[in-house]
């Protein structure tokens, strides 16, 4: 860590869309629901919440309408310790929403988005407080924001350009969403963005579908390595855990056993864990830093999988307990 980065206001800042999440219990059908559970969701905000609960200084930047439901998002993030003072509020625009119908095998979980033409999709470079956004050690971005609109794509491109000029580490999670854009478009549009990342997250299925990277984890990561200047590349492999590549150093981290309650948000929890490890790392030994980040990422993802909701609600003590392989029992 340099003296310059140590004095920055935030550890991690992210920008993107946060939405209302409306869901029914497992076994219930959306088309027969009499009531819906309301929560907050959004990949970038999820990462900020997880890190804030671990004691990190985080800020979320977004564009929200001026109404009570948008204020619920603001209150939720503040309560979790995330700074939202740079959020832009605009009148007469809509808030993105998505609906979840939980299911167990053989049925799949159903997600229905209602986010087109949202306030976030209208974000432009003029909406961003650039001094705020860059007053951080790490800027975390995702491909979801790039998919929302051409103006959002331009915001990400500008954010990456400015972050690199300011010496801010750029973390980028591909996070492909097939309902936002097709694979061919996503591949072409994301390549220039990931090329300039410092930390690249790309789960194995996205690497295969978007970039043709296949094979064993080491081979897949080497394929991704050809697409980016990122010193560290990270991928997840479902029940087989995660892996990372730093130069020629290949690192594997097995998944932890978990009884899955809710898969949504686990990838964001994983990214948060990796970033948490990175923040504590030694810049002179990136491989060791990534190894610790993968340990924390896999553990935080397991915690997320064991609870409902996009945002993983945890603590440093709980993360440490899971990492030490303590089995869940009754905490007294």
Residue pair 61/87 in contact by the 8 Å Cβ criterion: yes
Which of 137, 113, 141, 109 minimizes the C-alpha distance to 128?
Answer: 141
Q: At residue 201, what are phi and psi to the nearest 5 degrees?
A: -105, 130
Residue pair 194/230 in contact by the 8 Å Cβ criterion: yes
Question: CA dist 278 to 265, 267, 283, Å?
Answer: 20, 17, 9
Please confirm, yes or no, whether 219 is among the known catalytic residues.
no
Which residue of the set 11, 80, 268, 276 is catalytic? 268
Question: CA dist 322 to 27, 218, 257, 264, 302, Å?
Answer: 29, 26, 10, 20, 9
Residue pair 11/83 in contact by the 8 Å Cβ criterion: no
Question: CA dist 238 to 152, 195, 276, 277, Å?
Answer: 29, 25, 21, 20
**What is the rounded CA–CA span in Å between residue 303 and residue 306?**
5
3-state DSSP assignment of residue 40: strand
Active site residues: 268
């Amino acid at each position: 860590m340099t003296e310059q980065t140590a004095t920055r206001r935030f550890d991690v800042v992210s920008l993107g869309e946060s939405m209302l999440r409306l869901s029914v219990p497992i076994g219930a059908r959306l088309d027969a629901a009499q009531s819906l559970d309301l929560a907050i969701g959004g990949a970038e905000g999820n990462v900020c919440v997880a890190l804030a609960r671990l004691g990190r200084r985080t800020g979320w930047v977004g564009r929200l309408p001026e109404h009570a439901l948008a204020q619920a998002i603001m209150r939720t993030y503040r309560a979790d310790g995330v700074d939202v003072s740079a959020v832009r509020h605009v009148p007469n625009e809509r808030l993105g929403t998505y609906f979840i119908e939980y299911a167990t095998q053989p049925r799949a979980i159903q997600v229905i988005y209602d986010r087109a033409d949202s306030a976030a999709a209208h974000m432009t470079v003029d909406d961003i407080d650039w001094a705020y956004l860059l007053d951080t050690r790490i800027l975390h971005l995702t491909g979801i924001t790039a998919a929302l609109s051409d103006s959002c794509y331009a915001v990400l491109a500008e954010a990456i350009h400015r972050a690199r000029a300011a010496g801010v580490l750029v973390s980028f999670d591909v996070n492909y969403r097939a309902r936002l854009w097709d694979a061919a478009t996503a591949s072409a549009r994301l390549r220039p963005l990931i090329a300039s990342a410092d930390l690249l997250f790309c789960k194995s299925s996205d690497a295969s579908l978007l970039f043709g990277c296949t094979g064993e984890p080491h081979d897949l990561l080497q394929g991704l390595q050809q697409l980016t200047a990122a010193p560290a590349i990270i991928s997840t492999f479902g029940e087989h855990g995660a892996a990372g590549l730093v130069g020629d150093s290949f690192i594997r981290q097995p998944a932890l056993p978990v009884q899955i309650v809710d898969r949504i948000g686990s990838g964001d929890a994983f990214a948060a864990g990796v970033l948490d490890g990175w923040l504590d790392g030694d810049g002179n030994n990136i491989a060791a830093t990534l190894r610790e980040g993968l340990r924390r990422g896999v553990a935080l993802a397991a915690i997320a999988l064991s609870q409902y909701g996009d945002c993983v609600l945890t603590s440093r003590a709980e993360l440490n307990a899971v990492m030490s392989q303590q089995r869940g029992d009754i905490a007294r």
